[in-house]
Amino acid sequence: MSDLYAVMGNPINHSKSPQIHSAFAEQTQQDLIYSATLVPLDGFEHAVQEFFRNAHGKGLNVTVPFKEEAYQLAQIHSPRALRAGAVNTLKRHEDGRIYGDNTDGLGLVADLTRNLQISLSGKRILLLGAGGAVKGVLEPLLAEKPAQIVIANRSIEKAIDLAKAFSDIGNVTGCGFAQVQGYFDVIINGTSASLQGDLPPLPSECVASHTQVYDMMYGAEPTLFMQWAKQQGAKAAYDGLGMLVEQAAEAFLLWRGVRPQTAPVMAGIRAKLLKPAAV
């Protein structure tokens, strides 16, 4: 029987992970089945235990809102998962223990530096938001040795606390949106504001003509934040589809020992996104 993998979340019906991992498996000729599981909000631990009770259950991806619970549940953690306090990838070790990793930050950095050719070293980066999404990407971003990361968030205290928690590994400070000063080379939106049709209220001076903007969200249309950035004169604005595919590739590597090619998979998903839904 094939090895089994799944993504668990709530909601889960729009997850692209089954499509991405099935494409990876086909490309690398790995014999596996990957499915999406809707887990009740109070049923994550039970669902994980049931999944791994099956001897063929090898690994899980974990998405909103279970990444912190997955962290609690994992028996061994990668250093980056420990730092993030959140886990998006679980793997059953040979001895039966559950290993937790977080590949979100690697996915973001791979998309920025490899796919989009944006060098982060020595750059001034503005990171918007202070929730799980931002926590998960801070360590890999700081590992690229930017000159500075400013975390700006609606709740100012959260931005300041998060910056403090990472200040031993780089130059990182926290503030509110109104306190953002000067312009940035790279601006990354890790808030969920666009889900409510909102924009973080940033001073327009933070965007210069060479500024490149990245939104961790994605959709068929450029996000509200990307549109705003272009209106302020940003050089380019990208969505988070590449991050999604790259974090999946890192999970696949952890599980199967082979890193798939991401470009064709990204192109396939982009093409499907742009296709009008059937009526």
- Which of 123/158 has CB closer to ligand ATR? 158
Are 122 and 97 contacting, i.e. CB atoms less than 8 angstroms apart?
no
Cβ 216 to ligand ATR, closest distance in Å? 8
Cβ 166 to ligand ATR, closest distance in Å? 15
Cβ 153 to ligand ATR, closest distance in Å? 5
Q: How far apart are CA 124 and CA 150, in angstroms?
A: 8
Assess whether 67 carries a catalytic annotation.
Answer: yes
Are 89 and 102 contacting, i.e. CB atoms less than 8 angstroms apart?
yes
Which residue in the list 67, 123, 135, 275 is annotated as catalytic? 67
- Which of 216/269 has CB closer to ligand ATR? 216
- Which of 137/237 has CB closer to ligand ATR? 137
- Which of 129/260 has CB closer to ligand ATR? 129
- Contact residues: ligand ATR, CB under 6 A: 129-133, 153-155, 158, 191-193, 196, 198, 200
Cβ 141 to ligand ATR, closest distance in Å? 15
Cβ 199 to ligand ATR, closest distance in Å? 7
- Which of 92/154 has CB closer to ligand ATR? 154
Which residue sits closest to ligand ATR, CB atoms considered?
131
Are 277 and 220 contacting, i.e. CB atoms less than 8 angstroms apart?
no
* Residues noted as catalytic: 67
